[in-house]
Amino acid sequence: MAIYYDNDASHLPANEGAVPVERVYCLRLSEFDPAQWERLQRLYESLPGWAGTGQHGCPCWFGTTEHPPFLMASVEPSGLQVTGSLPSADWSQWHNAFLDGLPGLPLFEV
């Protein structure tokens, strides 16, 4: 079962050595209870590059503006959308750490 999918990320800024990211993690966010939202917040803060909440109100990693390197997440009907551009090693480390924190949270099947 896949728990994420990628959208076209060609519109995102990318520097040499950076990969554009436009990934949706298929979390059933509409079913989260307060404890699950708190768990997700703790997961955010434990991930590599945690930078807090940006001006747009979204969680951010590696920077709080949309200039590489950066990642930011937004709650969407399809799940948690993560957008950004950063070096592939940082992206791989972040993605794997995020996946490690997901067991037990409600997911969509894709």
The pTM assigned to this predicted structure is: 0.91
pLDDT tens, residue by residue, 23-67: 999 999 999 999 999 999 999 999 999 999 988 899 999 998 888
Query: What's the rounded Cα separation, in Å, for the pair 110 and 107?
Result: 9
In a domain, 106, yes or no: no
Adjacent-strand bridge partners of 70 = 85
Residue 54 lies in a domain: yes
Q: What is the pLDDT of residue 12?
A: 77
For every residue of 26-83, DSSP letters joined together read -B-GGG--HHHHHHHHHHHHHSTTEEEE-TTS-EEES-SSSSSSEEEEEEETTEEEEE
| Number of domains, the chain | 1
The answer to whether residue 105 is domain-embedded is: no
Q: Is residue 31 part of a domain?
A: yes
Identify the residue whose tokens are 């969509």.
108
Does residue 86 sit within a domain? yes
Residue 7 lies in a domain: no
Report which of 103, 106, 110 is spatially closest to residue 43, judged by C-alpha positions.
103
| Predicted confidence (pLDDT) per residue in 4-24, tens digit | 999 988 887 667 778 999 999
| Residue 26 lies in domain | 18-100
9 inside domain: no
- Tell me what pLDDT residue 34 has: 97
Would the pLDDT of 109 be above 80? no
Residue 107 falls within a domain, yes or no? no
